[in-house]
Chains A and B, each alone.
Chain A
Amino acid sequence: MPFIDIDWLREHVAVPQDESYEQLAKDLVRVGLEEEEIHTSSVTGPIVVGYVVDATPEPQKNGKTINWCHVDCGDQWNETDENGNKVPRGIVCGAPNMRAGEKVVVTLPGAVLPGDFHIQPRKTYGHISNGMCASERELGLGNNHNGIILLSERGYSQEEYDAIKPGDDAITLLHMDEPLLEINITPDRGYAFSYRGVAREFHNSTGAAFTDPVDALDAKAPMQDAHAHDIDVVVDDENPIHGVVGCDRYYARAVRNFDPDAKSPAWLQHRLLRAGMRPISLAVDVTNYVMLDLGQPMHAYDLDKLCPPIVVRRAKEGEKLTTLDGKEHELSTEDLLITDSPDGKEGSRVMGIAGVMGGLYGEVTSETRNILLESAHFGTVTIARSARRHKIPSEASRRFERGVDTALQPAACEMAAELMERYGHGTASATPTDYNTIEKRPVIRFKTSEVQRLTGLDLSIGRISDILEDIGCRLGGGGNGELTVAAPSWRPDLNYPCDLVEEIARIEGYDAIPTTVPPVPAGNVGLTADQKRKRMVADTLAEYGLVETLTYPFVGDEDFKAFAFDPAKEKPYSIEIANPLAGDRPFLRRNVLITLALTVQRNIRRGLDNVSLYEIGHVFLADPKAPPVPALPGGVKPTDEQLAALDAGLPRQPLHVGAIMTGLAEDDGWLGDKRPVDWSDAVEAVRRVSDRLGAGLRFVQPAEGMTVPEQWHPGRYAAVQLADGTMVGRVGEFHPAVNEALGFPAHTAAFELDLTALFNGVEYAPLQAKPISTFPPVKQDFAFTVDTAVSSAAVENAIRKAAGDDLESIELFDVFTGGQLGAGKKSLAYSVTFRSPSKTLGSDDADALRAAIVSECARLGAELRA
């Protein structure tokens, strides 16, 4: 984003003499130009001007040639010889452009360069080098590291150059000590990508006097002559984007008899460097300078190489262009090209992608004497797409895609032409070409009451008018509080009343807006039941001892495999990211456990024991048969059918909770022995969630030998169901293969619940309480022998059924297998408590209940043990 230099800014606006860069940042942020950074110099001296007295090339064994030089750094910094005379410093320099007679920049021992590079005398190539001659890059002045800085090449006039003496402070000379403000420009403020625009905003913020440089330039810029113009221009756009022609203005003007040896003046080079651009040649530097100053990207062509007419057209299928950086680009039929017409074939030779980057042909070179300046207006979308497509964002494209002032082209050409005349001794033509199809923008009908309706600011119509005129609008009307507003040509963002409201509010100052609190809306319902239930689940699990975590939902092949999923089966049902951050994890998870496992793994690898984690988050269930999602325009409410189509194409994204428990459930300690985690810890966690929600979840274990999902231990897995049989989750221990792949301890337990389905299945009606019986209880114990295939849940259900209303509670107090029971049998012992709601149970009653239970359980093959 642009760098702002206060001295340059003063060309257009009266910045106070004592303005600091900190104050400048404050002044600009008030009107919406945000500070990115104030760059301060990281260079400290001594860094001085040196005169190279002699430079002796010394070829080295390593193939390099270094120069052993004596550099006059002025009496203060020169060396003292054995006789007490001041003599030039001895310096070793490897730069290819080092030669005697040049004035250079010498960094002396004690200087510190960017990157905390301390200059010291050092022994090298058989000499003591008592300082270093510096390149631009070494001083943080630019990227040039092809050689050292030669002050003779920096565009000083002869008088200026002569005035530079050995020993002069180079930090001041090269302005290395001046800070620089970097600002951010929001996409709506293309005009602020220029000193002209920033100066205007400084005026808007502080009221400092602003002079629009374009006014004076426009007065001097020649108009197109009906009879003569510098070059024919044809705009032939066969493929406008969104109906917008790619080029609606093309202003071109010749500068002839230009001196190709002319150098950019020092001040201009300095300003370009301050803006982060490298000086190249006078012609190129001038076009860049005008762009930075006024905001109009320009291009300079070698006029003698052009075969008119210039044709602005879209690329054809299969066309290619080699850009200045040597890269070949395959062009798209949406790329807008600048072409010329050799051999009478119109538009047959491509010279560049309009507003993005030039090609190899037609550029200004060191031989160019006659120049054609291009100052055009290109479509924002056309430029943005080309810059993005070819990945070549440039200073020019950055400005075009935000929208360039549609009236700026003649003034920009005038400014460039004047600079080329002054410093390059050329002659600017008085007969420019101006292809101009810019359409007049509609005026905005503006009810000034909108200011108060939207901002709460109570401003007079006079104040509102003053603000709008100050930012460049032209006003009409005013009766009934309604204005007609014509936005200035540099503000393509001002189109609707609300845009004007923002201008008025920001110039008046957002701090001036009062502060109120809106009334509490009617129909306040608080959190929904599901929102409360989500919190209950989270709190219940944390209270049970698990630690909540959040994981990224990105997964890939390795994760599928570690979790015993077949990637080929998972992928068609997974959402795939087109531009993932990590190429090996382009999919979104279909369950929480797969990503939670990675976090468990990370904790274990960090040496933590007994890691038990849970996560509540969404999963993404792609449907390969989902209909495509339509592209619809904004600003219009879609039809009900369209809205349905938007949602129909989206994946289901239920909320899940997943938990993984590893290591010990209870640690060793003075209270008792350790107990490793197993399936029962996971089941208990799910039971707690179920009880907390009143969900009545059931655990359904597949019969022995039936398949279970491959992630799970075949004998320690159950499906979790709602009372109506709806499956809402899984619980158990991981399969040993999964534990091994993930580095988890054996018997690691886990569960995952679909909370969306679970919440849907929970009754939200208030619970209807049962009366509390005050009659005494009767307790009975039962020990049954059953086949191991019979689940304890089945036996418990049988007891429950037989006991009917008199049942108070059932507790399974003992389970064992083996011994005299024989293979395939197990013993289940229950303590059952009865209590009648209506009478004291007698021994007859108890006997009858016992008999009923025994007979009901017998249907499961259960025998009462003696």
Chain B
Amino acid sequence: MVDSSTFDAAALTAAIDEGISKVKAAATLDELHAVRTAYAGGDSALAAASKAIGLLPNDQKKEAGKLLGKLRADFGRAYGPKEQELKEAAEKAALAAERVDMTQPVNRRPLGARHPLPKLLEDVEDFFVSMGWQIADGPEVETEWYNFDALNFGPDHPARQMQDTFYVKGNQTKDAAGFVGSNIVVRTQTSSDQVRSLIERGVPLYIACTGRVYRTDELDATHTPVFHQCEALAIDKNLTMADLKGVLNKLAVAMFGPDAKARLRPSYFPFTEPSAEMDLWFPDKKGGPGWIEWGGCGMVNPNVLRSAGIDPDVYSGFAFGVGMERTLLLRHDINDMHDLVEGDVRFSKQFVMGE
């Protein structure tokens, strides 16, 4: 033990040496801090020596002070790195203890899924919006006038039969063809929105209408009685079939990639003249690229424009309709329509939030 009232240089040196060796031996931060308290704290020999210097004769003070400073520095040089070392080790151990298995599934509230069909409709709508067109929507239960008559299907037009229409029951008497006449149908085509839009919005008009349509086809691998179409209608001065081809090609590319394109071949629809079937060059077709039927189109029949009170000698334009289910089946290699309509969550979940 060092006498607290006298300055014993040898004893002090021995104490600090002991302290330094204990610093080196410390295994934890707590041990280290205890060593510091014992050898450099308020009750340590070092602190006592510091006080004792004041009692020394003046000629000894300088040397004693020098020794004291050196011993304090020696201790500090040992202590500092040791503390750093132990701190790092402690932190490392703490982090190691907190290690987890990051591959454990974390799925408290899993994402649901969008159905790919409405998502495809959104993509198609975005395509038309990007061209500056507007998106229209008409009623699914529609008058025969908008669904047929205004589109140049007369009451006995053969095409009215080829449409396989769901008729709405009415309280009126049977008409000549044996139907109970309500003059209301469930729309067979989104074209029913053409004349509505023309009357409501006037010309020039650039619209697309996406939505549900209905035909009396039983559900099978390629048919469904409830399906979706996208109808496009552009009426302006100086629009030609060349513009129709241009827009179709752009849509083909938007839906099926840069190598896709459209081709027209003559056909018949009451509401267009000239009329065409539209084939799609599908680069990813199973078994090699090829043409597949994609929809119908043509220049709007003057009688349709007249139904909306528009002068067909001044205005012209084109319309086309594309089946959305067909587009989706092709894009995603879906082989069975049942998958699209049955609502099995396993089907939609494949697509997550997109399509």
Interface residues of A (CB under 8 A from B): 29-32, 34, 186-189, 241-242, 332, 334, 380-381, 384-385, 388-389, 401-402, 452-457, 496, 498-499, 501-502, 505-506, 510-511, 513-518, 520-521, 524-528, 531, 535, 538-539, 541-553, 575-581, 586, 588, 599, 602-603, 606, 608, 611-613, 616-618, 620, 628-638, 643, 646-647, 649-651, 653, 666-667, 669-672
A242 to B241: give the CA distance in the assembly, Å: 34
Partner of B247, one of A380, A381, A518, A543: A518
**Which partner residue on chain A sits nearest B242 by CB separation?**
A456
A178 to B184: give the CA distance in the assembly, Å: 48
Q: A498-B302, A527-B129, A603-B344 are in contact. Are A542 and B268 (CB under 8 A)?
A: no
On whether the beta carbons of B167 and A578 are closer than 8 Å, the reply is yes
Contacts of A579 in B (CB 8 A): 166-167, 216
Contacts of B156 in A (CB 8 A): 241-242, 380-381, 384-385
B172 within 8 A of A: yes
Q: A502-B273, A545-B112, A577-B168 are in contact. Are A631 and B145 (CB under 8 A)?
A: yes
On whether the beta carbons of B129 and A526 are closer than 8 Å, the reply is yes
A630 to B24: give the CA distance in the assembly, Å: 104
| Nearest CB in chain B: distance from A719 CB, A | 25
Contacts of A647 in B (CB 8 A): 143
A542 to B351: give the CA distance in the assembly, Å: 11
On whether the beta carbons of B241 and A454 are closer than 8 Å, the reply is yes
On whether the beta carbons of B344 and A32 are closer than 8 Å, the reply is no
**Which partner residue on chain A sits nearest B308 by CB separation?**
A637
**Which partner residue on chain A sits nearest B266 by CB separation?**
A32
On whether the beta carbons of B264 and A510 are closer than 8 Å, the reply is yes
**Which partner residue on chain B sits nearest A655 by CB separation?**
B137
B346 within 8 A of A: yes
A502 to B302: give the CA distance in the assembly, Å: 13
On whether the beta carbons of B306 and A653 are closer than 8 Å, the reply is no
B96 within 8 A of A: no
**Which partner residue on chain B sits nearest A32 by CB separation?**
B266
B331 within 8 A of A: no
User: Of residues 125 to 150 in B, which have CB atoms within 8 Å of A's CB atoms?
Assistant: 125, 129, 131-135, 139-146, 148-150
Partner of B113, one of A521, A548, A632, A635: A548
A581 to B111: give the CA distance in the assembly, Å: 36
| Nearest CB in chain B: distance from A533 CB, A | 13
| Nearest CB in chain A: distance from B269 CB, A | 8
On whether the beta carbons of B268 and A513 are closer than 8 Å, the reply is no
On whether the beta carbons of B114 and A542 are closer than 8 Å, the reply is yes
B178 within 8 A of A: yes
| Nearest CB in chain A: distance from B109 CB, A | 6
11 A–B contacts from the bound complex (CB under 8 Å): A510-B265, A516-B242, A517-B243, A518-B234, A542-B114, A545-B111, A552-B226, A588-B141, A617-B212, A643-B199, A670-B104
On whether the beta carbons of A510 and B115 are closer than 8 Å, the reply is no
A551 to B265: give the CA distance in the assembly, Å: 35
A187 to B268: give the CA distance in the assembly, Å: 7
On whether the beta carbons of A575 and B111 are closer than 8 Å, the reply is no
On whether the beta carbons of B178 and A527 are closer than 8 Å, the reply is no
Partner of B302, one of A334, A496, A667: A496
Partner of B273, one of A389, A501, A539: A501
On whether the beta carbons of A633 and B149 are closer than 8 Å, the reply is yes
A276 to B346: give the CA distance in the assembly, Å: 46
On whether the beta carbons of A502 and B275 are closer than 8 Å, the reply is yes
A238 to B16: give the CA distance in the assembly, Å: 135
B342 within 8 A of A: yes
Contacts of A526 in B (CB 8 A): 129
Q: By DSSP majority rule, is chain B's interface helix, strand, loop, or mixed?
A: mixed
On whether the beta carbons of A30 and B111 are closer than 8 Å, the reply is no
On whether the beta carbons of A498 and B299 are closer than 8 Å, the reply is yes
Q: A526-B129, A670-B104 are in contact. Are A385 and B176 (CB under 8 A)?
A: yes
On whether the beta carbons of A543 and B111 are closer than 8 Å, the reply is yes
User: Of residues 81 to 119 in B, which have CB atoms within 8 Å of A's CB atoms?
Assistant: 104-115, 117-118
B11 within 8 A of A: no
B307 within 8 A of A: yes
Contacts of A586 in B (CB 8 A): 169
On whether the beta carbons of A455 and B242 are closer than 8 Å, the reply is yes
Other than A498-B301, A542-B353, give 16 A-B pairs with Cβ distance below 8 A: A384-B156, A388-B161, A496-B273, A498-B274, A502-B266, A513-B242, A515-B249, A516-B243, A521-B206, A543-B111, A547-B348, A576-B168, A579-B166, A602-B342, A629-B170, A637-B199
On whether the beta carbons of A546 and B135 are closer than 8 Å, the reply is no
On whether the beta carbons of A581 and B218 are closer than 8 Å, the reply is yes
On whether the beta carbons of B135 and A528 are closer than 8 Å, the reply is yes
Question: Closest 8 CB pairs between A and B?
Answer: A32-B266, A456-B242, A637-B309, A502-B274, A186-B268, A599-B343, A549-B343, A524-B132
Partner of A634, one of B117, B145, B161, B177: B145
Contacts of B240 in A (CB 8 A): 452-456, 513, 516
Chain B window 157-181, contacts with chain A (Cβ cutoff 8 Å), 1 for yes, 0 for no: 1110110001111111000111111
Contacts of A501 in B (CB 8 A): 273-274, 299
A30 to B265: give the CA distance in the assembly, Å: 6
Partner of B341, one of A550, A608, A612: A550
| Nearest CB in chain B: distance from A591 CB, A | 15
A388 to B177: give the CA distance in the assembly, Å: 8
Contacts of B107 in A (CB 8 A): 667, 669
On whether the beta carbons of A548 and B168 are closer than 8 Å, the reply is no
Contacts of B307 in A (CB 8 A): 634-637
On whether the beta carbons of A513 and B108 are closer than 8 Å, the reply is no
**Which partner residue on chain A sits nearest B302 by CB separation?**
A498
**Which partner residue on chain B sits nearest A632 by CB separation?**
B145
Partner of B166, one of A402, A580, A618, A635: A580
| Nearest CB in chain A: distance from B222 CB, A | 15
On whether the beta carbons of B122 and A454 are closer than 8 Å, the reply is no
Partner of B145, one of A499, A502, A549, A638: A638
On whether the beta carbons of A650 and B241 are closer than 8 Å, the reply is no
On whether the beta carbons of A577 and B247 are closer than 8 Å, the reply is no
A474 to B107: give the CA distance in the assembly, Å: 77
Contacts of A514 in B (CB 8 A): 242, 245
A419 to B113: give the CA distance in the assembly, Å: 69
B316 within 8 A of A: yes
Partner of B141, one of A388, A546, A628, A653: A653
B326 within 8 A of A: no
A669 to B108: give the CA distance in the assembly, Å: 9
A260 to B349: give the CA distance in the assembly, Å: 72
Partner of A666, one of B108, B112, B122, B142: B108
Q: A32-B266, A575-B168, A646-B143 are in contact. Are A549 and B115 (CB under 8 A)?
A: yes
On whether the beta carbons of A538 and B266 are closer than 8 Å, the reply is no
Contacts of B341 in A (CB 8 A): 550, 552
| Nearest CB in chain A: distance from B193 CB, A | 13
On whether the beta carbons of A454 and B131 are closer than 8 Å, the reply is no
| Nearest CB in chain A: distance from B123 CB, A | 11
**Which partner residue on chain A sits nearest B175 by CB separation?**
A631
Q: A380-B156, A453-B316 are in contact. Are A629 and B183 (CB under 8 A)?
A: yes
Contacts of B104 in A (CB 8 A): 670
Contacts of A616 in B (CB 8 A): 118
Q: A513-B264, A517-B250, A550-B343 are in contact. Are A635 and B242 (CB under 8 A)?
A: no
B303 within 8 A of A: yes
On whether the beta carbons of B245 and A389 are closer than 8 Å, the reply is no
| Nearest CB in chain B: distance from A525 CB, A | 7
B345 within 8 A of A: yes
A440 to B116: give the CA distance in the assembly, Å: 56
A506 to B148: give the CA distance in the assembly, Å: 25
Q: A380-B156, A548-B113, A635-B307 are in contact. Are A630 and B118 (CB under 8 A)?
A: no
A655 to B225: give the CA distance in the assembly, Å: 20
B277 within 8 A of A: yes
Q: A385-B176, A518-B243 are in contact. Are A608 and B183 (CB under 8 A)?
A: no
Contacts of A385 in B (CB 8 A): 156, 176-177
**Which partner residue on chain A sits nearest B152 by CB separation?**
A634
B239 within 8 A of A: yes
On whether the beta carbons of B169 and A578 are closer than 8 Å, the reply is yes
Q: A602-B342, A634-B154, A637-B309 are in contact. Are A649 and B183 (CB under 8 A)?
A: yes
